[in-house]
Structure 1
């Protein structure tokens, strides 16, 4: 197991971040925040797949005023994403958000920053200092020659010092670039300098396939280093995929247990059942299960029975058929056309029983 870096713990609504708290999974709505119904509907979908904190863009005052109705309609913490206009931050806080994401340096004078900090402090609202490589201060770009990891860290530290000057420490930090090496270097440097919790991610990572790979590499390196208290996978696509990928990264490192963990055969010339379609359908049909059920979908007799037998529930394919194993015992042999329905039904029943047993302990 990896040794997590110890950080100061803060609260974002009901979710603890840092310290010994589990690494939380976040996403961002992709609706127009001014459309309350659409935004709330998307948040409910995200919550159903495990999203623990949600952020929404606040481009204008109408969007800021919509946050109150959104917050009253959801059960997870809401973060307002603010740029440039400190009045939007004040309105968001007034509307009951749990945190705001902004850069103190881009909302104007120290008086404006102090106004936001005072309001956040009096309403117990956390602040995320969010530094992106694409929007660094001009003097830092001139000093370092480009948006280097060192420039990102110096930018973040400026913002931290400004908030600390006003007595505010209920904060977390992110330093995101669109490439993995620079992102990793920036977070490693920052981890040596502060004890604040870190929100980690690779920004603008790309489409589902490329973005998943890039995020998995970047977040995997950092999390294996013990760096990261909350994560967001940034994909050009559905925010539901952001949450799913986030959990898969954490599950792969044994940092969180959430939902089905599937071991599946890559297939080869020995496979005599359509294991590719079978595994994809098993993953889709069991996606609603939140209990960490260990599932094996194997294609032949070489490794299949052993892997399937070692899982909570598994199947091993044969010629137009498959064997189903449940908790170490063979349940039976089933034809290829019946295999999927029987397997998913048995998996759902087993997950419900194990979850009930766990909650009773």
Structure 2
């Protein structure tokens, strides 16, 4: 187990280092932030002064070495627009994005697993066809269109839920969250639902497939032969078996929810890191874009590492096969 963990840590560090190089070169080779920050009537001397203060007058390799040295000390540069450390901007907005992603994955699990079980236990029935048709719609319809329809129906037509913003927040166990007030929860429902729809469809299909593959196996027949109720067979034996692929996929999907929640955060004006990324790209705020990408990649690496370790605990054959 120790060798397995050490190998995974080394691989994670290599991925992070390669990502830092690719992201920096890709982002810093695009556009000129000075054009966005300096007034059109500025003199060449004023322009040179601003570029020197931002470090834009140095060659790209020199900028990268300076960035790398600062990054090793936890400094990913200062925002050109906000004039504060870019990493602090990311961490200010990150709790809102994490809250949105966790609620979205919770919605997809609480609804998706039961629906997948029902569909898998009643194949080719009307119930199965209805559930699977709904899951196809969740896959097929664009995320931005789903978000606009949710706003149109529940905010504009029915007036039940607010259409934008995070709403008032409060502290629960010292954590700033929307769950501290009913108004905050109301603001959270629509964006979390929009973000959860694709993952909900994925969980339904994974659960259904797992049930269909597990039900004919010998250990399920043996459990029934022992006289166990169908409920116990499904909830204990079948569900435990299908949780291994579900844990793997869900662990990675949490990362994708954080990384690709940009559309949802933009539609619902949710003050997370996704909206910050869009604003920074529009303003060519390079340090914030680089910090965002590195933080998100780090989250992916951590989640991937946690999933690998958990997977090896659930199925020791994986650990033994890779040592």
Which has the greater radius of gyration? 2
TM-score, normalization: structure 2? 0.22
Q: Kindly indicate which of the two structures has a greater share of residues assigned to helix.
A: 2
Q: Kindly indicate which of the two structures has a greater share of residues assigned to strand.
A: 1
Greater relative contact order (CA < 8 Å, ≥ 6 in sequence)? 2
